[in-house]
Amino acid sequence: MNLSRYIRHYMKNPLVLGTFLLTASGVLSRIIGFFYRIFLSHTIGAEGIGIYQLIFPLLALCSSFTTAGIQTAISKFVAEVSDDKNESRRRCYLAAGLLLSLSLSFLCAFYLYTQADFLAYHVIHEYRTAPLLRILAYSLPFGAIHSCISGYYYGLKKAMIPSVSQLIEQIVRVASVYVIYRIQMQEQIPVTPAIAVWGIVCGEISSALFSAAAVHFSKLRLCDFKNALPKIGRLSVPLTGNRVVLNLFTSIEAILIPLKLKEAGLSTSAALSMFGVLTGMALPLILFPTSITNSLAVMLLPAVSEASAHGERDRIKKAVSKSITYCMLFGFACTAFFFFGGNFLGMWLFQNEMSGNFIMQLGFICPFLYLTSTLAAILNGLGRTVQTFCYNLVSICIRLLFALFAIPAFGIKGYLWGLLASQIILSVCLTFSLREYLK
């Protein structure tokens, strides 16, 4: 009975309830996405997945430019409106953010659509991505709507709408791809990676429509944009800049890997297949447990912020020490699981021996990968976001250096060494920054 009262008490806390809902929807989405990856591996093959994965860095770059900083700004300013009766001010911030985000997303979509051939030939260096980029352009405005409205509800500490919209997006994405696949099979039309990109578009449309229906756009009356727009813009610019820089380096990394694999002696088809197996099969499996550590990070950031504001160093010390202990234990357990079960998982799930080898080797990054997300959240909670950005940038640069110089000499193993080295160095840097709380 005491346990049930304890649970009810904490579930009334919007932070705890919101984290629980986001964690639940995140786990369900990852489970659906996991089986979706298996389906894709059987329909478009390893090379098809490699081609499909090549467009994601550009999608991340476009999303960071059009929505990332704006979503955070909307959340912050909506949360600052403490008067429950002042709903019009909150909706004004949402309307201003939507106006800014949609404007940027239409510009990005236009550029992506019209310059698809240039990007495919001269940036990605794979001409078969051109039609995929044109399809992808349609998703950007809908993604902007979904992201801004999610930010609005995060600011209200109401995670139900973002959680449900996340699930709807994933379910519609998978269902639409399956329907398109069945139609093409019946019509004897060749199945290409384009079906997966149409799935992204359908998923974004559905989540945007659901979010728009939930927020009741009819209530978004004209408001004082002279105050709201500049405030949204000023806060979103540095956040967007940081995210764009990180995603730009990540995009360069993703483009370099297939190119350097070809320098190592692989054919174009073999290089894309290896890239597809690594990024579309093995890595998603390794990242699956991060749904737990990311939820921990979501809970830690506001808790540490509150403790820091009240000068409660003991609470921060406990957060740091427990994060290191539990994440390392969890990480080493996952390392053992992936090392001893990697080959079985690769063959059972993907019918691909190469994926099993990658899972075994990538398992060694788990303790450091899971630790960095929680330590970065603590550092951000202490207001040291510039340090976190610099450390992440260093980590990406290390991976880039290994991609540039180690892959041509040692093949894909050179890149896997770079992944491990970057995560170890990132963990050490974050731990060193929090050393005062380890004494």
Least confident of 4-18, 129-143, 146-160, 418-432: 4-18
How many C-beta atoms surround the C-beta of residue 134 within 10 A?
A: 19
Matching residue, tokens 């992440």: 392
Q: State pLDDT tens for residues 373-414.
A: 888 878 876 767 778 888 988 999 999 999 999 999 999 999
- Res. 142: pLDDT tops 60: yes
Q: State pLDDT tens for residues 245-255.
A: 888 888 888 88
Q: What is the pLDDT of residue 3?
A: 43
Same domain, 212 and 175: yes
Q: State pLDDT tens for residues 273-320.
A: 998 899 888 988 898 888 777 766 655 655 666 677 677 788 788 878
Nearest to 97 by CA among 138, 58, 154, 20: 154
Q: How far apart are the first and last CA of the chain?
A: 39
The domain boundary residue, chosen from 264, 299, 328? 264
Average pLDDT over residues 261-272: 90
Q: What is the pLDDT of residue 14?
A: 53
Same domain, 313 and 224: no
Least confident of 68-82, 95-109, 120-134, 162-176: 68-82
Residue 368 identity (one-letter amino acid): F
- Return the higher-pLDDT residue of 227 and 265: 265
Q: What is the pLDDT of residue 156?
A: 77
Q: What whole-number distance in Å separates Cα of residue 45 and Cα of residue 283?
A: 16
**3-state per-residue secondary structure call for 167-202:** HHHHHHHHHHHHHHHHHHHHCCCCCCCHHHHHHHHH
Nearest to 352 by CA among 15, 50, 27, 126: 50
Q: Which domain range does residue 205 map to? A: 12-264
Same domain, 258 and 316: no
Q: Token pair for residue 369?
A: 């990968």
Q: What is the pLDDT of residue 10?
A: 45
Q: What whole-number distance in Å separates Cα of residue 50 and Cα of residue 56?
A: 11
Same domain, 401 and 361: yes
Percentage of residues of the chain with pLDDT beyond 70:
87
The domain boundary residue, chosen from 195, 230, 264? 264
Q: State pLDDT tens for residues 210-223.
A: 998 888 654 555 55
If phi > 0 it is left, if psi is from -120 to 50 it is alpha, else beta; for residue 266 that is: beta
Report if residue 105 sits inside a domain. Answer: yes
Same domain, 94 and 235: yes
- Which residues, in sequence order, are CB contacts of 111 under 8 Å at separation 6+? none
Same domain, 64 and 119: yes
Report if residue 278 sits inside a domain. Answer: no
Report if residue 200 sits inside a domain. Answer: yes
Average pLDDT over residues 7-32: 64
Same domain, 215 and 306: no
Q: What whole-number distance in Å separates Cα of residue 295 and Cα of residue 15?
A: 11
User: Total domain count for the chain?
Assistant: 2
Average pLDDT over residues 233-240: 77
Same domain, 325 and 414: yes
Q: What is the pLDDT of residue 143?
A: 94
Average pLDDT over residues 419-434: 93
Same domain, 41 and 176: yes
- Res. 79: pLDDT tops 80: no
Q: What whole-number distance in Å separates Cα of residue 219 and Cα of residue 315?
A: 42
Report if residue 260 sits inside a domain. Answer: yes
- Res. 61: pLDDT tops 80: yes
Q: What is the pLDDT of residue 1?
A: 44
**Long-range Cβ contact pairs of 75-79 (< 8 A, separation 24 or more):** 75/151, 75/152, 75/154, 75/155, 76/155, 76/235, 77/155, 77/228, 77/231, 77/232, 77/235, 78/151, 78/152, 78/155, 78/156, 79/154, 79/155, 79/156, 79/157
- Return the higher-pLDDT residue of 187 and 90: 187
Same domain, 223 and 312: no
Q: What is the pLDDT of residue 223?
A: 59
Nearest to 332 by CA among 360, 359, 356, 366: 366
Q: What whole-number distance in Å separates Cα of residue 307 and Cα of residue 245?
A: 31
Nearest to 373 by CA among 327, 336, 335, 330: 327
Torsion of CA 216, 94, 14, 375, to 10 degrees: 140
pLDDT category at 261 given cuts 50, 70, 90 is very high
pLDDT category at 158 given cuts 50, 70, 90 is confident
Whether the CB-CB separation of 425 and 395 falls below 8 Å is answered with yes
Least confident of 111-120, 153-162, 345-354: 153-162
Query: In whole numbers, what is the pLDDT of the chain averaged over residues?
Result: 84
Whether the CB-CB separation of 125 and 251 falls below 8 Å is answered with no
Same domain, 377 and 426: yes
- Res. 9: pLDDT tops 60: no
Q: Token pair for residue 308?
A: 């820091």
- Return the higher-pLDDT residue of 58 and 301: 58
Report if residue 281 sits inside a domain. Answer: no
Q: State pLDDT tens for residues 164-213.
A: 888 899 999 999 999 999 999 998 888 899 999 999 999 999 999 999 88
Same domain, 199 and 328: no
What does each C-alpha distance from 158 to 287, 293, 306 come to in angstroms?
Answer: 26, 21, 19
Report if residue 67 sits inside a domain. Answer: yes
Q: Token pair for residue 339?
A: 């090392």
